[in-house]
């Protein structure tokens, strides 16, 4: 079968049209679109390997074969975990649904192809004592150290994603420690969705110290940026650098667990629920579109209760 991939109805062009749709019309975040591009790029190469470069020639058998290939690596790519394979298949299903709606194919060959079943995986969380040790491990004597403490306090206080934190500008904060009640911060989540999140007093004080004593000296090294968290050159702190800040603090705290910025987000949610917060409030704070996503954290607290009961009740085990 010889079909030019960039012609009308060609797979390569049709994939790009879908990614453009995700970016412009659906307004998905850049990182999300990049993940779709990676997954769909693998699908496109798989189809090319089967000499399929036109949308109308793709069958359900082709889609099913790809779903299996990402699990066992038979397409020449790395074998994916069940969770990553499921994400890839979901991306392909969305692609074909879009093509069918746009009239590029008469039917949807992916409609009945389902991702591999996932086992229940609970988010990782660390204890309050471990979080405290990490936060206190930041050396606040240098401008960069004060920034690090402010960043870590901010992540745990708000449950923000790392991309949300490093994307903040100074004007997104509303800090006034002389007023009653917590300060607030404006976060921009997936799809540029905006939400207001309270900022605890520890984080507010750490941020105020950083803004007054440290950020000006960091900003003086750059060309001027509204970014809240600055690097040593006065530019916006990157996600990779923020990750390194947490890794260094974790090592100084003597914690050997694998701790990532998302670990602080998971811990934020878990500790709120353990403290009695309503799951829908936590959903709003995390910026989850569905409460179902947030409810996985309730499984953690239920597991904690079972462990305590088993250890404390005289007739729990026997």
Active-site amino acid positions: 161, 190, 262, 265, 288, 297
Half-sphere exposure of 253 (CA within 13 A, CB side): 21
Q: What backbone torsions phi and psi does residue 120 show, to the nearest 5 degrees? A: -70, 120
> If you search the block for the tokens 């390997």, which residue do you land on?
49
Instruction: State whether residue 197 is helix, strand or coil.
Output: strand
CA angle 51, 55, 58 (to 5 degrees): 60
User: Which pair of tokens denotes residue 141?
Assistant: 């004597």
Distances (CA, A) of 197 to 39, 49, 172, 173: 33, 48, 11, 10
Q: How far apart are CA 38 and CA 239, in angstroms?
A: 19
Helix (H) or strand (E) holding 188: strand 183-188
- Angstrom CA distances, 158 to 135, 183, 187, stand at 14, 11, 9
């Amino acid at each position: 079968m010889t079909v030019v991939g960039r012609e009308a109805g060609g797979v390569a062009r049709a994939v790009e049209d879908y990614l453009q749709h995700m970016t412009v019309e659906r307004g998905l975040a850049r990182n999300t679109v990049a993940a779709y591009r990676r997954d769909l790029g693998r699908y496109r190469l798989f189809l090319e390997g089967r000499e399929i470069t036109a949308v109308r020639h793709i069958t359900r058998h082709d889609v099913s074969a790809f779903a299996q290939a990402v699990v066992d690596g038979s397409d020449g790519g790395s074998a994916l975990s069940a969770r990553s394979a499921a994400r890839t298949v979901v991306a392909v299903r969305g692609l074909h649904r879009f093509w069918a709606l746009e009239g590029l194919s008469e039917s949807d060959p992916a409609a009945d192809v389902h991702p591999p079943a996932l086992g229940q995986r609970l988010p990782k969380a660390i204890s309050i004592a471990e979080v405290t040790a990490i936060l206190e491990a930041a050396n606040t004597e240098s401008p960069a150290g004060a920034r690090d403490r402010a960043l870590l306090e901010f992540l745990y206080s708000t449950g923000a994603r790392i991309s949300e934190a490093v994307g903040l500008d100074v004007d997104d904060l509303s800090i006034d420690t002389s007023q009653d009640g917590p300060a607030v911060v404006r976060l921009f989540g997936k799809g540029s969705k905006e939400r207001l999140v309270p900022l605890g007093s520890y984080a507010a004080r750490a941020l105020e110290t950083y803004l007054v004593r440290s950020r000006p000296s960091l900003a003086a090294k750059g060309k001027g940026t509204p970014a809240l968290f600055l690097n040593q050159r006065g530019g916006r702190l990157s996600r990779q650098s923020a990750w390194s800040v947490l890794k260094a603090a974790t090592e100084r705290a003597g914690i050997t667990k694998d701790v990532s910025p998302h670990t602080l987000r998971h811990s934020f949610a878990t500790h709120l629920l353990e403290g009695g917060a309503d799951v829908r409030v936590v959903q709003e704070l995390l910026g989850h579109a569905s409460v179902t996503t947030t409810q996985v954290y309730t499984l953690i607290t239920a597991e904690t209760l079972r462990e305590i009961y088993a250890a404390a009740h005289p007739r729990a085990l026997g």
